[in-house]
């Protein structure tokens, strides 16, 4: 590390770096987005979080709309579900879509399934090893299978009675999730009901990516690769930002950061107003101006790290899905509104499919925002989203 004082970067500049790193400095395509456009988004952010809440749209679809505008979601499904698959699923930053070259770097987490997985998944391997072995054999022989399909095939001794684990999962479902965490089975896609279709990796990983199965990296190599992925996707960030991207522990992240600084991939800097040191990726772009306009999923990678969002934008954001309705401040499914270089508002949205309407349940502007120009920009973005969802925008 240099003995010189780190460069000081203004917050304005840090915001532009962050937005460019997440793909918001690029103009949206002028015509219908293609598979190539979706791959570019995937390769830019590296990890796309999945969530089952469907009050508006499944969360994995929203980051692509935010960066590309209206697109055919079937193209994304095909990248996950149809050979040759471009992405797989794993516990990266929560449940996520990841390209196969990134998937391989979670081998260390797969190998630690018995130590790191949720309690129910740990206990099933310890208490029911026969069920785990039988589930793996069945998936290997007959997959892809959903949990329901597999349960129907297993004997009653295995899947009944259902025990009170989490979401009332059966022992078969818990065995599947243990095998998924440990990398012995993976996802071959989802059904229209959002059920994961389980298969062994050899049936899912495309031939061009088979080295992810035969040549696993060391944990230390993976920590370096995942920290660089977080640094590239953030552009600039603290240790906390970089390790949160792939949910690494401090003891995994710190040696990796030191190595990346030593090799010149990262440079230590200071961001105006930040208490902690920050790290700038050597390929981070610094546009003069960013002219973005996007409604962001609550699970968009731009807003994953809440301390970072507060430090960059003075935007105090939290997910209120699990907050009792009477205690919610901004609503149930609240999307930050990105305009220009700022997070200027919060929009609680609902796709009322029965009525064919996109409903604004609640709208909250940041102090000093919400004038005529801001409202016109939001209306235009809501019109685009309604068009994408085949709905009609309803007034706030």
What pTM, to 2 d.p., does this model score? 0.93
pLDDT at 167: 41
Could you report the per-residue pLDDT of 53-106, keeping only the tens digit for each? 999 999 999 999 999 999 999 999 999 999 899 999 999 999 999 999 999 999
Could you report the per-residue pLDDT of 198-219, keeping only the tens digit for each? 999 999 999 888 888 888 899 9
pLDDT at 307: 95
- pLDDT exceeds 50 at position 176: yes
pLDDT at 157: 47
Q: Where are the alpha helices (DSSP H) in the chain?
A: 11-21, 35-45, 62-68, 73-81, 100-103, 107-111, 113-116, 119-127, 129-142, 147-153, 156-159, 171-181, 201-204, 211-214, 219-234, 239-244, 250-262, 306-313, 372-388
- The Cα–Cα gap between 144 and 326 comes to 43
pLDDT at 164: 41
pLDDT at 117: 62
pLDDT at 112: 87
What's the pLDDT band for 243 if we cut at 50, 70, 90?
Answer: very high
Fill in the DSSP letter of residue 11.
Answer: H
CATH architecture of the domain 106-213 equals Orthogonal Bundle (1.10)
Show Cβ contacts of residue 366 under 8 Å, excluding neighbours closer than 6 positions.
315, 342, 343, 344, 345
pLDDT at 163: 46
Could you report the per-residue pLDDT of 304-350, keeping only the tens digit for each? 999 999 999 999 999 999 899 999 999 999 999 999 999 999 999 99
**Residue ranges of the domains in the chain?**
106-213, 292-394
Contact (Cβ atoms closer than 8 angstroms) between residue 288 and residue 217: no
pLDDT at 123: 81
CATH fold of 292-394 reads Aminopeptidase (3.40.630)
pLDDT at 153: 83
- pLDDT exceeds 80 at position 3: no
pLDDT at 169: 65
């Amino acid at each position: 590390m240099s003995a010189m004082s780190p460069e000081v970067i203004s917050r304005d500049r840090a915001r532009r770096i962050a937005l460019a790193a997440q793909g918001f400095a690029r103009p949206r395509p002028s015509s219908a987005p293609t598979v190539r456009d979706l791959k570019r988004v995937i390769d830019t952010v590296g990890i796309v979080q999945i969530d089952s809440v469907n009050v508006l749209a499944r969360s994995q679809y929203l980051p692509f709309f935010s960066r590309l505008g209206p697109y055919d979601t079937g193209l994304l499904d095909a990248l996950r579900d149809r050979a040759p698959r471009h992405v797989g699923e794993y516990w990266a930053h929560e449940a996520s879509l990841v390209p196969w070259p990134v998937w391989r770097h979670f081998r260390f987490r797969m190998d630690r399934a018995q130590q790191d997985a949720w309690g129910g998944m740990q206990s099933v391997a310890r208490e029911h090893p026969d069920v785990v072995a039988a589930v793996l054999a069945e998936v290997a022989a007959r997959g892809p299978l959903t949990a329901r399909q597999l349960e129907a095939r297993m004997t009653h001794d295995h899947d009944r009675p259902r025990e009170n684990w989490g979401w009332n999962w059966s022992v078969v479902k818990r065995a599947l999730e243990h095998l998924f965490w440990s990398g012995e089975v993976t996802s071959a896609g989802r059904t229209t009901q959002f059920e994961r279709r389980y298969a062994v990796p050899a049936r899912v990983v495309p031939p061009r990516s088979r080295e992810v199965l035969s040549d696993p990296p060391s944990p230390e190599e993976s920590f370096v690769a995942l920290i660089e992925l977080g640094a590239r996707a953030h552009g600039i960030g603290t240790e906390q930002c970089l390790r949160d991207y792939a949910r690494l522990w401090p003891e995994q992240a710190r040696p990796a950061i030191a190595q990346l600084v030593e090799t010149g991939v990262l440079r230590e800097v200071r961001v105006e107003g930040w208490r902690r040191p920050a790290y700038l990726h050597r390929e981070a772009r610094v546009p003069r101006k960013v002219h973005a306009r996007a409604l962001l999923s609550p699970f968009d990678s731009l807003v994953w790290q809440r301390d970072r969002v507060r430090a960059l934008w003075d935007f105090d954001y939290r997910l209120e899905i699990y907050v009792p309705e009477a205690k919610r401040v901004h609503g149930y499914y609240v999307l930050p509104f990105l305009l220009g270089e700022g997070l200027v508002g919060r929009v609680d949205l609902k796709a009322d499919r029965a009525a064919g309407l996109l409903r604004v349940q609640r709208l909250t502007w940041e102090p000093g925002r919400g004038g005529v120009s801001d409202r016109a920009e939001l209306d235009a973005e809501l019109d685009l989203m309604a068009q994408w969802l085949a709905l009609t925008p309803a007034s706030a």
